[in-house]
Every structure is written in C-alpha cells, then in structure tokens.
Structure 1
Amino acid sequence: MQIFKALSPVKALSFDLDDTLYDNSPVIAAAEQAMLTALFELAPQSNQTDSDFWWQHRLKLAKLEPEIRHDIGRWRLLGIEAGLLELGIARAEAKKVAQQGYDAFLEARTKISLTTGVNTLLTALAKQYRLIAITNGNACIQKMGLSPLFEFSLQAGPDGKMKPYPDMFQLAAERLKVQPAEILHIGDSHRADVIGALAAGCQAAWLDHHRQPVSTLPHIRLTDVQQLSTLLLPTS
C-alpha cells in the first residue's frame, strides 16, 4: 500500500464491483456462454454464431448511437436484437428472444461469490462507514446477495453516464447527503475510478492489480483490497 495524499475525514465508502471485490473474468465468460446457449435454443438460426458476432453488432450500434455505451445492459440487449434481425428473425420475435437471451446472460452474470475475507472486510467496514456501490456494468447487488452490505448501488445508464463522468459520484453525494470529499471511492480502473472520483471531488483508493505507472495519483494505491482494513479500521 502507498499513501500519496493524506485522507481527509471519510463518511462513506464507495466501491466499484467488478474486479474490485471479485474476479469478473470468469463471471462474464459464464454469462456469455449462458446467453449463447439460450439463443441457440430459442433461435436455431443463431447456432453458427459466437460471442464476436454479437459484439460486432454492439459496435455497429455504438457507431450510430455513441451514448448507448453508457448503458451496458441496454446496449447488450439491443445488440442481441440487431443480430437476430440480421439472421432473418421477424422484429417482434427478435425483441422477445433478445430479452430472453439477455435475461440468461444477466442471471449468470449475477452469480458471484465473495471470498470469506472480502465479506468479512465489508462487514467490518459497514460498522464504521456508510457503504455504497458505483458500477459501470450491470452488476446488481440485490441479485448478487450483496444488498445487506450496501445502502444502495448506482449503475451507469439508469443513474447517469459511466465513470469517469461525474454523474454517479455527484448523485451518490446527493443521496448520502454528504460532500463529495467525504466519500472515498475504491476501484480497480485508474481511468474510471481514480480520475473519475478525483474529478468529482471525491477521494480515491486505487486497487492496482497490474502496478501501472500513472501521472494522476490517487490518495491511496492498494495492491490488495484487504489493505483497507489497516487503513480504515480501528486497531483495538
């Protein structure tokens, strides 16, 4: 752990979710496969497609409507629908199948489990601070079983533009009724979490998995989220 700037008094901790509290790569891989399996069953025309086919349709949508990137869930849903239309499925059926395919993705996407250590850490922190989650993805703390640990969660799209835009940080401060500087945001993405939090006036703790050199320093650089225990919890 490296401390670059002393923390001012903190009233709330804001956590990124994916790759901050758990490894998200296997979760997304399983969710992609669940989506493909559902689409194969619902629309036999899709049995020769792979994840890249659906990704290319999302990219096409983003070129036409760049703002859609701020709502990951809607972007994926409409990308599935666009792919089904290209496969010759009628619009009404494509809309229905796309929703079912997306639902399969989302169900698998929310099957995460925290390590005992992370769960213990969050439980202890929740006794000292107000905890919230701010995510650019479509992770849902209710479906993940994490809602008892957090007051609320904000998602890009429904709750504003994705990090590093200030929308969700500002909304968090308003809902918590605190100043942005009284929020310490913890996340693994330097661009989204560090630059975003600092630009919004929050404090930032960066979980640096890859030891990257950067020009914009957070308040704290972590190599393990468990280091928050030393930083934020009383020793006696």
Structure 2
Amino acid sequence: MIKLVTLDLDNTLWDAEPTIHQAHRDMVAWLVAQRPESTELLTPKVWAGLRRTLQAQQPEILYHPTAVRKAMLQLALAPLQLPIPQQQDLVEGAFEVFYDGRNQVKPYPEAITLLEHLATRVPVVAITNGNANLERIGIDQYFKAIVNAERAGVAKPHPGIFHLALSLGGNVSAQDALHVGDHALEDVEASKALGFQTVWLKSGALDTTQHCEPTATAESISELVAIIQAIVP
C-alpha cells in the first residue's frame, strides 16, 4: 500500500524549459536597462563561460540554483567595477526578475487533476533539483513539503534527498512510497535503488535514450494520471 507519493516538478508537472529561458531573457533585459554597458557582459557565450568558471572555482554550489545564478551575476558584473552595495543591488534585482519569471510556469491541467486526486489520499512531497516556488506557482496547498537540493544539501540522484523526503512525508519507508519523475536516472533509477515504486513520465524526459526500469511508464501526462489513480485509488 502506497503511503507517500513524491513528485519531481520541472518537466513533470509542467514544461519548464520555455519559461526558464524566457525568465533569463527578461533578467538580461532588465540588467541592460539598468546598466546599458552590461550588454556585452551578458551574451549567451559569456554566460556559458561564466558557468564553466564557476564550476572550476566553486563546485560545491553547483546544485544550488539560486546561489549559482547570483554568483554568475556577480562574475558577469565584476568588469563594471561598481561599488559593492550597488553591484549587490543589481544582482538581487536581476535575480528577482528571473525568479518571478521562472515561477510563471503553468502546471498541466492533468497535473492539477493528479494533485487533487492525491491530496485526499496520501501525503505528497516534491523533490526537485530546481528552485521552483510552489506558493508562487499556486499549488502549495497540495504538498506536505518540498525538498530541493538547497534544503537537502545534495541533489538527485543522491540518496540523501530522497531520505529527507521520506522523513518529511511522515517517516515513511521507501517500500511504501512512489516516486514520479521525468529523468530516467535521477528520478527513476535513483529512487528505485532505495526501494521506491517508480513511474517514469517519458514524455517529459529531455533524454529518452537513458535506460531505466520503472514500475510503470507513462507516455503522456494523461496516461500518468491514469497510472497513478490505479496505484493510489
């Protein structure tokens, strides 16, 4: 009997990529409006280089998307040689533009159906490597807790993030839990190795070539709803 359902968020409950890309563009536009001389410091090529620099200098924060973006903004703006308080204000302002846009994701209608079904049956805990804000998105009422990499100190596929979700979900054993996600390795294989039952939302996967052996596979969000309703009637 399933006593807890854990759900991935980005590309499982909504299509994240277009919204996140637009949020980044909005952030860049805001910064350029504030400091026109920053235009050449924020090109896609420069931004990609900043990520590589950060990976070399501060690998410990790579699974902390908020810290990563703020650190990249600090690096991007450094050539302007602004006073520290002024640069910090720009970083915080730019991040807020991004974060507000990033949380404009629209859950699939079927995802809301799924959440409404689960809410009256079992606790639901979100597990994500991202920094989605359930309250801003407007679906926090369906969740007992959210576990992200920043809170857990580790990211999927590390077992620690799943163990924390089990604890926050009511100290449920993995054998009594079901995890749903789009990533074959980070969601399906990682949780399965701990004893979870698993459902792979294949239609949400950015890479469908990776092999996994879930309890069930959903080819669409509609099929996912039907599968979960059968497992958690």
TM-score (norm 1): 0.88
**What does 1:1-236 align with in structure 2 at a 5 Å threshold?**
9-48=1-40, 49-176=42-169, 177-209=171-203, 212-233=208-229
Gaps of 5+ in 1: 1-8
Question: Which 4+ residue blocks in structure 1 deviate beyond 6 angstroms?
Answer: none
Give the 3-state SS of the residue equivalent to 1:206 in structure 2: strand
Q: CA deviation at 1:213?
A: 4.7
Specify whether residues 120 and 215 from structure 1 end up closer, same or farther in structure 2 by C-alpha distance, changes over 3 A only: closer
Mean Cα deviation higher: 149-158 or 136-145: 149-158
Q: CA deviation at 1:214?
A: 4.4
Provide the rounded CA distance (Å) in 2 between the counterparts of 1:26 and 1:213: 22
Give the 3-state SS of the residue equivalent to 2:178 in structure 1: strand
8 Å contact from structure 2 (residues 159, 190) kept in 1:
yes
Q: CA deviation at 1:73?
A: 1.1
User: Taking every aligned residue pair, what percent have the same amino acid on both sides?
Assistant: 27
Specify whether residues 232 and 216 from structure 1 end up closer, same or farther in structure 2 by C-alpha distance, changes over 3 A only: closer
Provide the rounded CA distance (Å) in 1 between the counterparts of 2:73 and 2:228: 43
Provide the rounded CA distance (Å) in 2 between the counterparts of 1:199 and 1:90: 50
Let me know the Cα RMSD of the aligned residues. 2.0
**Larger relative contact order, structure 1 or 2 (CA cutoff 8 Å, min sep 6):** 1
Provide the rounded CA distance (Å) in 1 between the counterparts of 2:79 and 2:192: 43
8 Å contact from structure 2 (residues 185, 210) kept in 1:
no
Matched residues, number:
228
Give the 3-state SS of the residue equivalent to 1:47 in structure 2: helix
Gaps of 5+ in 2: none
